[in-house]
Every structure is written in C-alpha cells, then in structure tokens.
Amino acid sequence: MKMGFRWYGEGNDTVTLDEIRQIPGVETIVWSLHHKPAGEVWETAEIEAEIARITSISDQAAARGVTKRFDAEVVESVNVHESIKLGRTVLGRSRDEAIENYITTIRRLGRAGVKVVCYNFMPVFDWLRTDLWHPLPDGSTALYYEKAVVDQMSPEKLIAEMEANSGGLTLPGWEPERLAGFSELSAAYEGVTHEDLYRNYRYFLDAIIPTCAEYDVKMGVHPDDPPFDLFGWPRVVSTKQDLGTVLSLNDSPYHGLTLCLGSFSANPDQDAVDAVRTYLDRIHFSHVRNIKHLPNGDFTEVAHRAQEGSVDTVGIMKAYAEAGYTGYIRPDHGRHLWDENTTRRPRPGYGLYDRALGIQYLLGVWDTVRYPG
C-alpha cells in the first residue's frame, strides 16, 4: 500500500510540499492540472513540469538536509466532459472529440509515469455539501450536508452558495467554466435515464481502455457524492450494486474503482468494509474518511477515528491490510483545525492538520495488522 496526500499545486494550495513531506508515511502526491477544463488535452510540457515540481527537492530544503522525495503516480482527476456522459455534442464539444482528447491525455500521463487516474461520472457537478465550515462540538469545523436545504434549494442557488463560501479557492467539480454552462447542461439532462448513462459510460470505457492497457494507466471511478440522485439527474455509481454494474461494463483490470468510503457511506445503509472485501481486486485507489449520520438525514464529516462517526475506518484498514493491498490510499476531507478556522483558511475540507492526523491513525491500524508484536 502506498499512502498519498492530495495537493492542488503551487500557488493553488494553502499546504506546501515541504509541509506534506514531514507527515510520516506519505509517499505519493495526488495531483492534477486544475486549470485544465474538462475535454481539453493536457500538454506534455505541463504534465512534465508539474511532476518535476512534485518529485524534486528545493535548493533551500536540500541545504537543510532534506532528502525525502515523493512520486507523482496518481492523478485526481482527469475530468470527463459532459458530452461523453450525455453521448452527444454539448458545450461546444462532441463526444468523440472529447474522448479522443481524453485518450491523448492518458497516453501522455502514462509516458510520464502516472499509474492511476481518478475520475467520476456524475452529471453536471460533483460532490455536494450545504455548509463548508460547519461548527463541531470540539471547536473545529467541517463539511456538512443538510438534507432539508437540498430538498428545498434550486441548483442555481446552491451554485451561488458554494461560490460565496469557497474562500476564493476553486473547488473541484465546481469550476467556473463548468458552471457557466449550467443552463445548457440542465436542459440537456432532461429525460436522461440511468440506462442512458450506463450505455454512454460503456462507450467511453471501450474507447479508452485499450490505451490504458498499452500505457499501463489504471482508471479508478469515484463513487457519487452523495450516493443518490440529485435534482432529478441520474447517478450511476452510488450503491454496491452500482459498483458491480459499472465494473461489468468492461472486464479489463485497467477499469476499476477509486473507492471513496466517505462518499459511499453517505448512504447509511451501505457497508464500507463489505464493499472493500467484495471489490478489492478492482480497487486501484481508495479514499478513507469518516462521516457521522444524523437521524434527520443530515451528515457531517468528522475525524478519521472510527469512534468519531458512522464509518468503520478500523475495519476498512484491517480489510486492506489483511489482503496485503498494494494500491494507493489517501485520507480525505479533514476538519479545519486551529488557525485554519481563522488566519490560514484552506480549501474547504483540505487543510493540513486533520489529514495529517488521519494518516497517522490509518497507518496505525495498518501497522497493527501487518506488523503485529
């Protein structure tokens, strides 16, 4: 198993590579070219420059005796253009053009040494929360989902709320260029069914997987977050049954999962440990985090420790450790701690401290199983 840490790039993240370097156990920086809109080709020079930035050590750090290096083997995410999901031209780009651009990007990432690409197949926008800075009893804050608010709120109002509370940092899945086409997308998804999305998903996989196999790049689809339909738009990577259906669309081992156990567990009826054990051989990348369910359908993100919430993070890490899992794992959305709630406001969910604490907790479980006594 290789432990990773998501980083949004120089000048686009409140956390630095030198800070991440001091977290014991982190080997992989999970990265992306966040300025690239969905459907555009990633240029070789851009890829190589970002990888060099991640894998190198600054002269100042080297002068202090720093020698620890990272790899850049996981990309999160190469976003899928809406024309691919819809199976037709939208936002000025055809499905086949968007797929060809995606294939070119995979080829270039593979040549650069990338081993796993995370992506999602959610319509219109990605993850959804109603409060990005919700106060918790210990004084920290965290991402929060309030069911009644979503039930009563229009997508347009939700978009405005997210933009107003992002702290000036772009949020993955809520990029301005994507949301600028919201009216067109909303109309395009009218009447689209789950079966339509699965059919278009199969078309996408059949097109890209041969290139993935040729360049040794594994694709890992992220579960829907939260894992149920929203605003009448179908979501097809939500339940354990959905995961099986998605995996059956293409049998190649290069088609697999980024199993985010926090997203998956936002449905309280789902068993995260069972999902890990069931689909272990197709899990290329995993996000391990905790949430706490409330009786009214709300949920809040909490510390990674199992006792803090509703997700059995101990059972998850034991399942991975007992199987000798060799893929990639990272902590996910953390609470905002200490000065992150005052002077050092991070991208919501992506501060330094709680994710660092989470890594130590997850590795503690791993080490207990793998290296007992």
Binning pLDDT at 50, 70 and 90, where does residue 169 land? low
- Say if residue 353's pLDDT is above 80: yes
Mean pLDDT, rounded, for 167-189? 73
pLDDT digits (tens, 9 = 90+) for 190-230: 999 999 999 999 999 999 999 999 999 999 999 999 998 88
pLDDT number for residue 171: 67
Give me the sheet containing 141-145, strands edge to edge.
Answer: 131-135, 141-145, 299-302, 290-293
Q: Are strands 218-221 and 116-119 parallel, antiparallel or unpaired?
A: parallel
pLDDT digits (tens, 9 = 90+) for 225-242: 999 888 888 999 999 999
Arithmetic mean of pLDDT over the chain: 93
pLDDT number for residue 150: 87
372 Cβ contact partners less than 8 Å away, ≥ 6 residues apart = none
Instruction: Tell me the C-alpha distance between 270 and 239, whole Å.
Output: 7
Binning pLDDT at 50, 70 and 90, where does residue 174 land? low
Could you tell me where the DSSP H helices lie in 35-88?
44-55, 59-63, 82-86
